[in-house]
Each structure stands twice: as structure tokens, then as C-alpha cells.
Structure 1
């Protein structure tokens, strides 16, 4: 049996400090430590151009800054269809064309991979390429979580269970 194709995509604008955390997070991985069926993709702020890049993917994990108006470094894990858990005042993406629009177009085209989003609350959105200490501190735990996701996908062709509030 062929293992599922997994893509870990980091998105964001690296010129706006923590807004680029998704892209900068990919630097935590060395190619030799990734399973053979895992591909890294710097999505940057590409928007709709990403649709064709994800069409051959079975499982997509996205890391992005999310404005949940909470403590910097807070991590949220959700599926696109669970987006209703966020109050309207929260922004799921800071980009002009958000990742949810990319996934919606992929769905229309019949190319939507199973998708999971890890959103991290940024501290700073100022001009600059350096991440805040609060964001850097999250990366080791987030990296460990990615390897758990990869293992679960390879073992059971599913993401780790997402606990839902009762």
C-alpha cells in the first residue's frame, strides 16, 4: 500500500515579523528527519496560486498566524469545517486571500485534501523578519505535534482526534 502524501504548508508574510511564523516554522525541519511521504511547502502569501500545489496531496497540515485576540503563542488546532468555533470578530488569516478561500476553490475543483490547521496567535505584526520570543518558544512543541500527526496519518490514514466541546 502506498503511504498517503502529506504536505506541511507554512503560510504568512515573513516581512511582518510574527505574521510569517508559518513559513519560518518550516525551518525547524531537516529533510533527513521527515518521513519520505511528507513534503514541506512555503505558501507565503501566495493565495489562490496554492490550489494547484495541493491537488495531489492526501493530507494537508497548515501552520499560520491567527488573530484570536488572545495571548501571543496560543495555539489553535482545527479543521476548516470547524471554523464556526471562532467568533466573528476573530480573523482566521491575516492574508488578503485567506487559506480558507484556497480550500474552498480546491473543493469546487474536486481537489481538496483532508486538511488540518494549526493557528498561532502572533505578538507582533510590525515590519521585520524576526519572530518574537513568545512565538519561537512555541516551535519545539509544535514540531513535536507535527511528528505525532505524521505518525497518525501513516498508521491510520487520519489526523489525531480533535476533541470537541460538549
Structure 2
């Protein structure tokens, strides 16, 4: 049994403070000891060029800033199929090309990985490289959650149950 290829992708624009939390979070995760079959990728605000990168992967874990009209640092865990059930005001991403479009495109082209999204409600989105303290304090907990998912994939070949 081969180890599934797992990618953790941080998405966002690091020039807009908390919008870049997904990308910044990867720095935290990179300090952990990760299995060899886990790859970290800065998705930045890259759009459809991500499609071919994720087609090679079995499991994709995305970290992104999402606008759920919630308190800063609120954490959401969902799979792309859950999106339809989310309320209207829930914008999955602040980027032009949402990650959902990328996944849909990968599917159309033959293969999309099993995907799990951790979305974090940002505090501020103005120009600047700084992440809000509320968001930064969440990183260790988020790292734990991501490592749990990786562990679950390694053991059972699937994401943990909710």
C-alpha cells in the first residue's frame, strides 16, 4: 500500500494582512515534523495554474481566509460539497478565482483530490504584511488540527469524521 500524496496548501495574499493567513500558516506547519508524503504549497492568489499541481495529489488540505461574517479567528472546517449548504453571506474566499473553481476545473480535467478546507475569519484586510494577533494565536491549534487530519489519512486513508 503506497502512502497517499497529501498536499497542504495555504492560499491568500500576504500583502493584505490577514488575507495571507493561509500562506503565513505554512511557516508554522513547516516547523513540525511531517511525513515524507506531505507537501506544503503556497497557493498565494494563484488561480487556475494550481489545477495541474493538485491533480497529482490524493488529499488536499486548504487553509484560507474566509468571510463568514464571524468573529476574527473563527475557524471553519468543511469539504467542498458542504458549500452549497452554507448561507448566502458566506464568501468562501476573497480571491478572484475561488479554490472551489480550481477544484471543479480539476474534476472536469479528470481528477480532483479529496479536499478539506480550514477557513479562518480574518480580522483585517488592509495593506500590510502583519497578521492580527487574534489570528496568529490560532496557528498552533490549526497546526494540531491539520496534523490530526494527516495522521487520519495515513492510518485510515481518509479525513477524520466531523
TM-score for both structures, normalised by structure 2: 0.97
- Three-state SS of the structure 2 residue aligned to 1:42 is strand
Q: Deviations over 1:65-102 (max 9, x none)?
A: 00000100000000000012321122000000110000
Within 5 A, what are the aligned runs for 1:5-154? 5-30=5-30, 33-154=33-154
- Structure 1: which 4+ aligned runs deviate by more than 3 Å? none
The aligned length equals 162
Aligned alpha-carbon RMSD (Å): 1.0
Q: Deviations over 1:18-45 (max 9, x none)?
A: 0000000000023671111100000000
Distance in 1 separating the partners of 2:115 and 2:151:
16
Distance in 1 separating the partners of 2:20 and 2:125:
9
**TM superposition shift of 1:64:** 0.1
Gaps of 5+ in 2: none
Q: Deviations over 1:125-151 (max 9, x none)?
A: 010011001100110000011111011
Distance in 2 separating the partners of 1:31 and 1:135:
18
